[in-house]
Chain A
Amino acid sequence: MREVLDRPVPTAAADLTLRRGAARVLITNWTGTSTVPSRTLYPHQWSWDSAFIAIGLRHLSVRRAQRELEALLAGQWADGRIPHIVFNPDLPYGAYFPSPDFWQSSRAGRNAGAPEAAETSGIVQPPVHALAAWLVHRADTAESRRREFLTRLYPQLAAWHRYLMTRRDLAGAGLAAVVHPWEPGMDNSPCWDRPLSRITPAAPDTFHRADLNHGHPADRPTDLDYGRYVHLAADYRSAGYDDAVPHQFAVEDPCFNALLIVSELALARIADQVGADPGLHSARAADLTRTLVARLWDEDTGLFLARDLVDDRLIPELSVAGLIPLLVPDLPEPVVERLIQTLDGPHFHTKSTALVPSYDLDGHAFDSTRYWRGPAWFNTAWLIERGLRAHGRDTRADRLRDAILTTAGNSQFAEYVDPTTGAGRGTRNFSWTAALTLDLLCADDKEPPL
């Protein structure tokens, strides 16, 4: 009895405090048209950040959530790509590197259809946007219809997916490929070490890293890797951001493609609402699901792995990206079962935080604090929580939900945490951490995944 009494129980008051804290972050990081991921480290608009932020913002202001996605899509290119950064024109170039004068989108990207008015990066991030748009719509369907939110977004989201399924199907096998380690969103993952080792780093004196002005060097990528990132991006820019030009870095990432599948399913729902053909999108989701399993599932490790398209081999590194396909509703049940075993096995199970590390705890490259080489992130945990629920593992999902909420509150909405201690790392008051916390606190338990 005493043990029961001593155990801290989540209270309504704690939830209220957390909700207020999360809302405070989102209000503070709002710029008038969109949300910065962090007031200190990331002063522009980031693509997949905005999608996650909109998912939380819908509980605070549906109108702001809609604006968040609309502002991002204002930077969309004519070829359909949604750039990973839309730059705030009011800030000096030195506010972030690579800055607009590095990407030179309006000039170098002209043939690929970069917008003339907005400066953006030339690469992309994972396609969470259609899922976000659908969830934002569902938060207030009357307001969505009044503003014709889905009607306006549908053609843009459809163009985005079309871009990924055509120009980015670099292997011609039916999955979207990424051409830079920043594209899958997990910039510094050990998964990219092998493909990156082929790249000659740009000379250190040719660029100035802005991420170290606020981030701790021990948490951030090394200078050598940063030089490689810069080289790859500069090559892509020199090619006019043309995807037909051969890429030195080309990878099929399981998280990126799982999100594309879920977003295709969301797009089918959206198409249905706006009088377009949902069949195209659900058929594409079904094809993608089959191809994902065929090309990226690794039975030996019980995980989806990234495929390096330069040598057409799976990359033998265990990353949280390989768990994200749990989100896919039509994943074969034996694969679901294996994935959950992997999630709860020695590679990803941490007693201390119950969050999911970004990389194999036993892996040779594990680093508990360095960007995507071990730390646990809140967006991946949120996606896995959602995946567990999609497959009826509610008890397991509840445990992860509690861990996300507790850790988010204790870490002041950290960008990520040390998975072995739960200690916050990176910047604090990070927008998607707050947004996804708010979503877990406010979303209707009975809300269907799609």
Chain B
Amino acid sequence: MLKTAAQEQLLPGKSLQEKWEFAQNAGYDAIELRAKGDFHFASRLPELKQALKDGVVMPTVCVEMLHFFGAFDDELRRDALAQMKSQLTVIAEIGGLGAQTPASYGMFSRRLPPFEPPRTEEQDREVLLSGLAELGEHARKEGVTLFLEPLNRYEDHMVNRLEQAADLIRETGLDSIKIGIDSYHMNIEESDPAASILANADYIGHAQVSDSNRFQPGAGHLDWPAWLGALHTIGYDGYLAAECRLTGDPVDAVRSIPAFLQRSGA
């Protein structure tokens, strides 16, 4: 049985402690944190440490910003690198596993006008490799992992498929960078999501779950048994972190996820 986590914003409750109470009752094993920019995540350190002391399990954090380490703008890119390094440090400080980020989000899509990005593919690659080297090295020093998340073609134009992420990671030569896979994006980008999991097994470090329509697992038409079966097949023992929107009664929807995943072979 794979462990499940819910992102904090999905859980009812004012504090992490209250959210944890709900999460446990719903069958979750952990909470995935979200990290805003402007070093907001670092400013939460006292809150996180208290939560840790109170037994809240918080293994991973997912970035919640509007610019990323693959940004076209140098200043934004430098800021994103600084934010991510800080997030890696904080998650290390509370004994977590790592932090997840895409290359970019909402910056450019080759499927939407004007279709041609301002940088060439080679320039993109250079920027990504340099950013990954910097973040991966920082993660290594902190003893945690940077999870690189491929997004679908409408949300990012650089890293859409697992094989692209694996290729970049391989080139950095760093063990401290893994792929953070997401079932929703994979459903759009991978011709066979289960086969992609097998093909990139060595690079998969984290998994986020939502259904074909971005709603909670069970609300769409993904073949969950095949996807989860593939994760079992590669011996994945990390978390399935729910990062999704909710349809139906939101509390019921969040509560339904662990049992649904379990029924589907998690």
Contact = CB atoms under 8 A, between A and B. Distances in A.
Are A and B associated in one complex?
yes
Interface of A: 19-20, 23-24, 27-28, 30, 32, 60-64
B225 A60 contact: yes
Contact of B225 (A20, A30, A62): A62
B191 A27 contact: no
B113 interface: no
Interface string B229-242: 11011110000000
Count chain A CB atoms within 10 A of each CB in B223, B233, B235 and give the residue with the most. Answer: B233
Overall SS of chain A's interface: helix
B198 A61 contact: no
Contact of B191 (A19, A28, A32): A32
A159 to B, nearest CB: 29
Contacts of A63: 223, 225-226
Contacts of B64: none
Nearest to B235: A20
B226 A64 contact: yes
B192 interface: yes
B195 interface: yes
Count chain A CB atoms within 10 A of each CB in B195, B225, B230, B234 and give the residue with the most. Answer: B225
B107 to A, nearest CB: 32
B195 A30 contact: yes
Overall SS of chain B's interface: helix
B233 A24 contact: yes
Nearest to B230: A27
B195 to A, nearest CB: 6
Interface string B198-237: 1000000000000000000000000101100110111100
21 contacts: A19-B232, A20-B233, A20-B234, A20-B235, A23-B230, A23-B233, A27-B195, A27-B198, A27-B229, A27-B230, A28-B195, A32-B191, A32-B192, A60-B226, A61-B194, A61-B223, A61-B226, A63-B223, A63-B225, A63-B226, A64-B226
A28 B225 contact: no
Contacts of B230: 23, 27
Top-4 shortest CB links A-B: A61-B226, A23-B233, A61-B225, A60-B229
Interface in B162-216: 191-192, 194-195, 198
Interface string B252-263: 000000000000
B225 A23 contact: no
A8 B141 CA distance: 43
A61 B221 CA distance: 13
Contacts of B226: 27, 60-61, 63-64
A60 B229 CA distance: 6
B195 A20 contact: no
Contacts of A27: 194-195, 198, 226, 229-230, 233
Contacts of B225: 60-63
Contact of A23 (B191, B223, B232): B232
B20 to A, nearest CB: 31
Contacts of A19: 232
A274 B213 CA distance: 32
A27 B235 CA distance: 14
Contact of B198 (A24, A32, A62): A24
Contacts of A61: 194, 223, 225-226, 229
B223 A64 contact: yes
B221 to A, nearest CB: 9
Contacts of B191: 32
Contacts of B192: 30, 32
A340 to B, nearest CB: 36
Contacts of B194: 27, 30, 61
A27 B200 CA distance: 13
B223 A28 contact: no
Contacts of B198: 24, 27-28
A20 B194 CA distance: 13
A71 B252 CA distance: 37
Contacts of A23: 229-230, 232-233
Contacts of B195: 27-28, 30
Nearest to A31: B192
A30 B235 CA distance: 20
Given A27-B229, A30-B192, A64-B223, 18 more contacts: A20-B233, A20-B235, A23-B229, A23-B232, A23-B233, A24-B198, A27-B194, A27-B195, A28-B195, A28-B198, A32-B192, A60-B225, A61-B223, A61-B225, A61-B229, A62-B225, A63-B225, A64-B226
